[in-house]
Chains A and B, each alone.
Chain A
Amino acid sequence: MKKVDESGSNSLISTSAVAFGRVAISILIPLIAFVVLWGGFIFLRDSNASQGVIAVVAIIWGVGGIALLFWVADYIVNKAPLNVAQKLQPFVFVGPALVILTWYLFLPTMRSLYLSFFDASSKNFVGLANYIYAFTDSKMLEAFGNNLLWIVLGTGGSVGFGLIIALLADRSNFEKVFKSIIFTPMAISFVGAGVIWRFIYAYKPMGEDQVGLLNAIVTFFGAEPKAWFTLQPWNNIFLVIILIWLQTGYAMVIISAALKGVPSAIIEAGRIDGASEFRVIRSIIIPYIFSTIVTVSTTIIILSLKIFDIVFTMTNGNYGTEVIASMQYKQMFRFYNYGRGSAIAIVLVIAVIPVMWYNLHQFRKREVF
């Protein structure tokens, strides 16, 4: 009510001159914003200034530009009549995300879907041939099996270790130190992890000094050194261990934060009722943080489905370690078979749908959606 009154009195006061000024401003502000952004863009694209200057300008322009765009969009929408403004308002917020996602992910996906029905050079329609390849080729079947292993072992390992470590750290004397060390691998790039793990898995023939820690241990006990990455099918597990090593920190940090949110009153009540520590964890804490575990598992399952870098840098998909994403990459960028590459990508997208469906289901249960 108050709002309507205000706008009513405002319109009485405003003369035609003011109205004209308002219109001019509401055109001028977006215009200035546009000129500033465009000028910055041209400067960044063509300038020969020193690198430090460009870096600073680039950062200010990029970050400030986005904030400016939001502000201008909001400004324009609020110039519109109230009922129109209310309809447009939500799109000021979700619009930019939708536009960018459409451009960067949705359209390319649709394009891949289209190309997946065509041959290698995208010229002749081949129907479902690429999908038949994707589900029958022996290499592809190998990749599916391996991806399943990645999902089960990788996610189970990361979330399991993450949960155990978070629970233990919560009850230890040096929580911060322990958690920091476990998290450290998260900060390492896959390229870096590749370098690091070579010092663990490296192989040298019997008799020579071993450089890899694992073979050093094996030879210390008198066994023959092994080339771990050619040892089928165990080599997949050696690769998954790298993922677990990298991702446990992520699971641990988020689960640990959720643990702090469990009201201590409930836990104390359980303890007073005589429940053992394991019982408290199983019947009180785990159910309480279950949705967090689902969120963490979802992100790691998706990561395992799309796993690429580790396989690519360590074995390049050889020795039976192929995964879906490495098959897709090879078809796309090595054999230039856009049809097959696109079909595999679409299969990957479809594979994740059940996971996302389960997530939305969880949202609905929590009545937040």
Chain B
Amino acid sequence: MIQAKRFNWKILVNIVLIAIVIIWAIPIIGLFISSFRTQSEVLNSGWWTIFKGKGKLTLDNYKRVLGGSAYTFIDSAGKTVRASGDNLSRAFINSFTVTIPSVVIPLLIASAAAFGFAWMEFPGRKFFFTAVVALLVVPLQIALIPILRDYQKLGLTGSYLGVWLAHTGFGLPLGVYLLYNYISTIPKDIFESAFLDGARPMVVFALLVLPLSVPAIASLAIFQFLWVWNDLLVALIFLGGTSEVAVLTQRLANMVGSRGQDWHLLTSGAFIVMVVPLVVFFSLQRYFVQGLMAGSVKG
């Protein structure tokens, strides 16, 4: 009896989950299918009509969005049109150049700070930590104009360094907050024995704290990566809008702006922008399971 009851229970759980997952996936499926449809079909019929066998699928949207050089296609009226491609490949490299240091730099600085706050005694410790966490609430729009003025004086506008530092500044409060949660729960004994052996704090940090915090750091890395990769505002203001340095989101936003009716191109563009963060997430995913919980479970 009990066996049978448990079995039914499990089926029910799976069915409920499948229902939720389908609801969650529908918007993405819609985008995915739309990205293979032609302009007139995207504008005039729902993407689900494809399941009724209407319309055909094409790779043209992707070719146009990724291709760098001019590109010819046949429009809805049957005329051959030449249009310049969007050359997202270049924006791809730009996005990586902006994103990788913008993830690693704040992670290094935040984990060092979290270690300092959690395990070192110094005057003003509580005050400074409270201040750092309080800065979580500051909307970054506040900082844009003052920082831009500083950058103009320093010659940092349009440089990668400027964007990295900006992302570092804006990402640090959350980074320190989450890593503090984690690092503060590392058992005291581990440090005490290391300090007793005469290890310098920097050595303890590099050889003990960093490796022990890998799950927390990895999960924070994912969030910072997603944030930077998907950011539009910071890149737009500090990097400038020239196509030489523009990142993917800028190009995508331009596509929205310059041709709001070209939904068919937006779909493939949006999909391309999504791919990298998904790959990053699924490759780092196992660290979550190893026990992220941002240290908030005190064992």
**Contacts from A to B (Cβ < 8 Å):** 2-3, 41, 44-45, 51-52, 54-55, 58-59, 62-63, 66-67, 70-71, 74, 78, 87, 89-94, 96-98, 100-101, 103-109, 111-112, 161, 165, 168-169, 171-174, 177-178, 180-192, 194-200, 209-213, 216, 245, 248, 250, 253-254, 256-258, 260-262, 277, 288-289, 291-292, 294-295, 299, 302, 305-306, 308-309, 313, 325, 328-329, 332, 342, 345, 348-349, 351-353, 355-356, 359-360, 366, 368-369
Partner of A192, one of B44, B160, B252: B252
Q: Are B27 and A200 in contact (CB under 8 A)?
A: yes
Q: Which of B101-115 contact A (CB under 8 A)?
A: 101, 104-105, 108-110, 112-113, 115
Which residues of chain B come closer than 8 Å to A91, judged between CB atoms?
116, 122
Residue of A171, A213, A313, A368 contacting most chain B CB atoms (<10 Å): A368
What 1/0 mask marks residues of chain B from 113 to 147 whose CB sits below 8 Å from any chain A CB? 10111101110011011111111111101110111
Q: Are B138 and A349 in contact (CB under 8 A)?
A: yes
Q: Is there a chain A Cβ closer than 8 Å to B155's Cβ?
A: yes
The residue on A at minimum CB distance from B281 is A187
Q: Is there a chain A Cβ closer than 8 Å to B211's Cβ?
A: no
Q: Is there a chain A Cβ closer than 8 Å to B170's Cβ?
A: yes
Given contacts A245-B24, A254-B292, contact A348 B139 (CB under 8 A): yes
Q: Are A256 and B232 in contact (CB under 8 A)?
A: no
Q: Which 6 A-B pairs have the closest CB atoms?
A: A104-B169, A93-B116, A352-B137, A189-B230, A62-B101, A97-B113
Count the B residues whose beta carbon is within 8 Å of the partner chain — how many?
Answer: 122
Q: Is there a chain A Cβ closer than 8 Å to B190's Cβ?
A: no
Which residues of chain A come closer than 8 Å to B128, judged between CB atoms?
94, 98
Q: Are B46 and A216 in contact (CB under 8 A)?
A: yes
Q: Are B24 and A332 in contact (CB under 8 A)?
A: no
**Bound-state Cα–Cα, A165 to B115, Å:** 33
Q: Is there a chain A Cβ closer than 8 Å to B50's Cβ?
A: no
**Contacts from B to A (Cβ < 8 Å):** 9-10, 13-14, 16-18, 20-21, 24-28, 30-31, 34, 42-48, 90, 93-94, 96-97, 100-101, 104-105, 108-110, 112-113, 115-118, 120-122, 125-126, 128-139, 141-143, 145-147, 150, 155, 159-161, 164-166, 168-170, 172-174, 176, 178, 181, 184-185, 198, 200-202, 205, 219, 223, 226, 229-232, 244, 249, 252-253, 256, 263, 266-267, 270, 273-274, 277-278, 281-282, 285, 288-289, 291-294, 296-299
Given contacts A108-B147, A180-B282, contact A213 B46 (CB under 8 A): yes
Q: Are B108 and A108 in contact (CB under 8 A)?
A: no
Partner of A55, one of B97, B297, B299: B97
Question: Which applies to chain B's interface (DSSP): helix, strand, loop or mixed?
Answer: helix
**Bound-state Cα–Cα, A192 to B267, Å:** 8
For the complex formed, measure the closest distance between the CB of B181 and the CB atoms of chain A, giving whole angstroms. Answer: 6
**Bound-state Cα–Cα, A327 to B87, Å:** 35
5 A–B contacts from the bound complex (CB under 8 Å): A62-B105, A94-B120, A94-B122, A111-B146, A254-B292
Question: Which applies to chain A's interface (DSSP): helix, strand, loop or mixed?
Answer: helix
For the complex formed, measure the closest distance between the CB of A117 and the CB atoms of chain B, giving whole angstroms. Answer: 15
Q: Are B120 and A90 in contact (CB under 8 A)?
A: yes
Q: Are A97 and B141 in contact (CB under 8 A)?
A: no
Q: Are A105 and B138 in contact (CB under 8 A)?
A: yes
**Bound-state Cα–Cα, A360 to B94, Å:** 39
Q: Are B45 and A209 in contact (CB under 8 A)?
A: yes
A-B contact count (CB 8 A): 341
Partner of A41, one of B104, B120, B161, B223: B161
The residue on B at minimum CB distance from A100 is B169
Q: Are A174 and B14 in contact (CB under 8 A)?
A: yes
**Bound-state Cα–Cα, A259 to B281, Å:** 20
Which residues of chain B come closer than 8 Å to A194, judged between CB atoms?
256
Q: Are A185 and B24 in contact (CB under 8 A)?
A: yes
Residue of A211, A306, A309, A342 contacting most chain B CB atoms (<10 Å): A211
Which residues of chain B come closer than 8 Å to A185, judged between CB atoms?
24, 27-28
Which residues of chain A come closer than 8 Å to B147, judged between CB atoms?
103-104, 108
Q: Are A182 and B21 in contact (CB under 8 A)?
A: yes
